[in-house]
Structure 1
Amino acid sequence: MKVLRIAICGDEEYFRLLEKELIEKYMEGQGYECIIDSYSSGEEMLSGGKEGESGKPEALPYDIIILDVSMGEMDGIETARRIRQRNEKVKSEMAMYRSISEHLDKQRKRTHEYKNQIAAISALAAAKQYGKLGAYLEKIDTNLKISGDAIDTNHVIVNAILNTKYREAVDKGVSFVLKINDLSGLHMEEEDIVVICFNLLDNAIEACSQRGPCNHSEGKVVKFKFVLEEGRIVIAIKNSMERKPILKNGKFVTSKMKEANEHGFGIRNVMETVEKYGGQYAVDSGGGWFSFTILIRNPVA
């Protein structure tokens, strides 16, 4: 028997119980087994449920969610918006964490390979096989240039994000211009670094790569700045554009509805993350560029 997870959210217990009974009877007749959770408010549902689970937000594990539109405090429409926003945030974080995991796995493999290479170099040197040693070193140098990371900020998470997005930009024919400094003193939760950097870079690269022949004076280019200066975290991104983006209800939209929703929620998640740290952001779309600039105080540990 198929299993469905269903959530019922409404501020009147009588109707929640009635809906649960009707749903169970109907779904049983359709050949489904139901696991139904009941919530008295949107806040309760979004906070993790009756058990008061804590920790990082996760996508709500339901196949069907039934919401009372006229609930007090947070109505059903606002609850639906926040559910979707959180699910999009989790989706983007999972994608980036997969990229980071793959990046770190490649680093571990390269470290193991380097140890083997050092052993081979030592053996050739001990045997005085200098001709073979020279050829081997040349081969290693070529491989390093191909497989080595182009970007190092002294911060493992930022490195993984930037190197992953750099390779993605190059593969899509987008120039990637970067300004960074030593980020070892960066004080920001890793998941928030992922939300900000992944969403900004993903949107910028996607906006450039989806266009046809580019008439912009600088071509398809993304410029990204991530520095610590004067006790502040400065993050800024610019991407070339030929048409001004549309701002609707506080989010940017594109010509395709799916992209509009995903990019809109991505930018909104960035804004909310900046506000979490009491930071400031500015958005501009003039002169053939779309830009997003962030300033956050970086406390001294």
Structure 2
Amino acid sequence: MIEQISLFTVDLIGHISCLLLCTAPFQRSCTKKRLLLAFLGTLVAGYFITAVPVIRELPIKAILLIMLFTVFCHTCYEGKLLTQCLCAAFSYVIMLALDTAAIFLFCNWVGMPREQLFADPQLYMICALFSYIVIFMVSFAIWRFAHSWAKIEEISVSGSLIMLLFPLMSLGTIAFLFQVTAKDYSVSHWAILNALGLVVTNAVLMGLLHHIEQEAEERKQNTALQHQLETQLEKTQVLLEAQTAQRKQSHDFKHHLSVLSGLLQKGNLSAARQYLAEIFETGQMDALAVHSNNPVVDAILNQKYAQACTVGIQVDFAINDLAKFPLSNRETVVVLSNLLDNAIEACETHKGTRLIRVKIQCSEEKTILSVINTIDKAPVMENGLPVTTKADPLTHGYGLQNIVSILAKHGACPVIHCQDGWFHFSVVMFTKAVSPALGRGQTTQILP
């Protein structure tokens, strides 16, 4: 009876230690009650795995326990399943390497071969308690230290598979150490240091998971910021060119008025009419397709209109007074430029009717923004956004992400979908005067 209680206590300490290790890098995602129930269920299942003779030997036991700890992590903590499985493997190897080092130390302390020590129930139980107390102390220390880490969410599949090689090699090394030291009266200090080295190395690699994920996220953000900066510089140059063109038109407009004034003063009405007709034919009096009372919106829409016309794309506008457009100038440039660039790019490859419809309507309560365009093939959607088909996805695909991020700051969530050969982007931005319960997150859908 005492032996059974002691074995249960040892298993309990071991499973708690391993659960502390493998959950340390993750953020809890469930209630305390659910965590407690899952924890108790994991302990019962773990005890069953270690108690049944058929499955309690390596490597079956290791595989089953790693799977069990992974399920516990995935049930109660945030993060990807593959990342959690990798952390569970590292945790199990750390625990096994600590157990190996503690057993070697105990064998040296009592001066007895391991086979002989394991044959004595009392000595075996003392050795096991010593070993698992060491395991718990080290695991608890790592767990407390890991609370200062930013929590892991995911790493790449290739990165996970590469890092998984080391715990597998560590398991093989531990099995080899156990085999060659089975009958030694005194285990070599090098074997003990080897086992402790495996503990340290696996713990360090487990900690590196956080740094790998953090650096990957930082690289992704830096790429997005660089792309946004390049877009900003490009659009700023476009705005300057549009402003220069408008000034030239204003300058020419004064000359036209001077000529018309002279003709009218002379009473030459027929010549004045003919001159006006010539101006309209050359397009000098209607150089701008959009007049919204918002110079930034006008500059972008007119520049994109001219760009679309040069490649044979028809653009229809439904615009009202946008003097109170809710986005800042910087946000307006990012949102409208990216939306129209995407629409023009999609229409350029379209074999049928090339058409873009832009609707921007401002009122006291809300602003409706919609851009729809013809498209050959519906894009693949992931997390509500189209997946870029360009050769270098790291430098593309951030336009819509930036748009969604900007709109989220204004409490708006766009509708993005493809239907009947049309790609739709539409959103409603409510003014601050509207109750958030009524306005936030609501969207509109505008069909062709």
User: How do 1:132-211 residues align onto structure 2 when only pairs under 5 Å count?
Assistant: 132-144=271-283, 148-211=287-350
For the pair 1:252 / 2:386, whether they are aligned, the reply is yes
Distance 1:113 1:146 in 2: 10
Structure 2, unmatched stretches of 5+, are 1-207, 434-448
1:228 is aligned, of 362, 386, 390, to 362
**Contact 1:253–1:263 under 8 Å retained in 2:** no
2:405 is aligned, of 248, 252, 272, to 272
Partner of 1:241: 375
| Other structure's SS at 2:398 match | helix
Going from structure 1 to structure 2, the CA distance change for 1:120 and 1:252 (only over 3 Å counts) comes to: same
1:107 is aligned, of 227, 238, 246, to 246
**Contact 1:180–1:226 under 8 Å retained in 2:** yes
Distance 1:263 1:295 in 2: 26
Going from structure 1 to structure 2, the CA distance change for 1:250 and 1:186 (only over 3 Å counts) comes to: closer
TM, length-normalised to structure 2: 0.46
| Other structure's SS at 2:312 match | coil
Structure 1 residues 30-71: Cα deviation after superposition (integer angstroms, max 9, x where no partner)? xxxxxxxxxxxxxxxxxxxxxxxxxxxxxxxxxxxxxxx766
Deviation of residue 139 (structure 1)?
A: 2.3
Deviation of residue 99 (structure 1)?
A: 1.5
What is the identity, as a one-letter code, of the residue corresponding to 1:183? Answer: L
**Contact 1:186–1:298 under 8 Å retained in 2:** no
Going from structure 1 to structure 2, the CA distance change for 1:144 and 1:155 (only over 3 Å counts) comes to: same
Deviation of residue 205 (structure 1)?
A: 0.8
TM, length-normalised to structure 1: 0.67
Going from structure 1 to structure 2, the CA distance change for 1:128 and 1:285 (only over 3 Å counts) comes to: closer
Deviation of residue 119 (structure 1)?
A: 2.2
| Other structure's SS at 1:178 match | strand
Distance 1:117 1:98 in 2: 29
Asked which structure has the greater CA Rg, the reply is 2
Going from structure 1 to structure 2, the CA distance change for 1:181 and 1:100 (only over 3 Å counts) comes to: same
What is the identity, as a one-letter code, of the residue corresponding to 1:92? Answer: T
For the pair 1:283 / 2:411, whether they are aligned, the reply is no
Going from structure 1 to structure 2, the CA distance change for 1:130 and 1:107 (only over 3 Å counts) comes to: same
Distance 2:387 2:283 in 1: 41
| Other structure's SS at 1:272 match | helix
For the pair 1:117 / 2:256, whether they are aligned, the reply is yes
Distance 1:187 1:253 in 2: 28
Going from structure 1 to structure 2, the CA distance change for 1:220 and 1:124 (only over 3 Å counts) comes to: closer
**CA root-mean-square deviation:** 2.6
For the pair 1:295 / 2:428, whether they are aligned, the reply is yes
Partner of 2:81: none
Distance 2:335 2:217 in 1: 23
Distance 1:134 1:293 in 2: 44
| Other structure's SS at 1:185 match | coil
Going from structure 1 to structure 2, the CA distance change for 1:101 and 1:269 (only over 3 Å counts) comes to: same
**Contact 1:186–1:228 under 8 Å retained in 2:** yes
What is the identity, as a one-letter code, of the residue corresponding to 2:247? Answer: R
Q: Higher RCO, 1 or 2 (CA under 8 Å, sep at least 6)?
A: 1
**Contact 2:388–2:397 under 8 Å retained in 1:** no
- Which structure shows the bigger proportion of residues in strand conformation? 1
Structure 1 residues 145-190: Cα deviation after superposition (integer angstroms, max 9, x where no partner)? 5752111111111111111111111211222122211111223210
Identity %: 26
Going from structure 1 to structure 2, the CA distance change for 1:286 and 1:141 (only over 3 Å counts) comes to: closer
Going from structure 1 to structure 2, the CA distance change for 1:128 and 1:299 (only over 3 Å counts) comes to: same
Structure 1, unmatched stretches of 5+, are 1-68
- Which structure shows the bigger proportion of residues in helix conformation? 2
Going from structure 1 to structure 2, the CA distance change for 1:239 and 1:127 (only over 3 Å counts) comes to: closer
Deviation of residue 136 (structure 1)?
A: 2.9
Going from structure 1 to structure 2, the CA distance change for 1:189 and 1:140 (only over 3 Å counts) comes to: same
| Other structure's SS at 1:292 match | strand
**Contact 1:251–1:265 under 8 Å retained in 2:** no
Deviation of residue 298 (structure 1)?
A: 2.8
Aligned residues: 227
Deviation of residue 271 (structure 1)?
A: 0.6
